[in-house]
Amino acid sequence: MNMFFRWFGSPKPLIEAASLRDAARLAQIHAASFHRGWGEGEFEAMLAERNTMIHRLRLGRKLIGFIVSRIGADEAEILSVALDPNQRGRGFSRDLLLQHLGHLAGRGVRTVFLEVEENNQPARRLYERAGFATVGRRERYYLQPGGEQLNALLMRRDLS
């Protein structure tokens, strides 16, 4: 019976549009992932914008991650991707990113941009494996809590 539960009883990750009731949990996940987390009010504002697309990642009933993009004409910028620290390293971010890109394409987006901290190797690998290429660099773009300034890479992927 344990073997059956392990194979068939584990919840399958579900990616779906986020809603206003998710704002508090999205803010928690963001705060656990970045030194300057976005607040619940910031997520509520983004969720209310027509040009912003947010997908959540659920495992069973638990919201464990999200991705947010802002769309302008036929371009989009991924503003943030975050996963609960306890759920990282399981391939969930890749699935979330790829499904989100599919939804962006469905909305007529042809080109997607993002910025990533230059030394964030796991994120860079994720984006490169999803077809993003580095197209620029922003010196001292990210300010750390201790005052250190880190470079950002500007990445791009064409969807069409």
Q: Give how far the C-alpha of residue 53 lies from the chain's centroid of Cα atoms, to the nearest Å.
A: 11
Alpha carbons 153 and 3: distance in angstroms, whole number: 45
Per-chain mean pLDDT for the chain: 87
Residues 21-58 pLDDT 10s: 999 999 999 998 887 779 999 999 999 999 999 999 99
Q: Is the pLDDT of residue 6 over 90?
A: no
pLDDT value of residue 144: 63
C-alpha to C-alpha distances, 17 to 43, 68, 72, 153, nearest whole angstrom: 13, 10, 19, 28
* SS3 at position 74: coil
Nearest in space to 64 (alpha carbons), one of 85, 89, 94, 47: 85
Q: Per-residue confidence at 60, pLDDT binned at 50, 70, 90?
A: confident
Q: Tell me the CB-side half-sphere exposure of residue 91, using CA atoms within 13 A.
A: 2
CB-based contact 152:116 (threshold 8 Å): yes
What does the pLDDT average to over 84-110?
Answer: 90
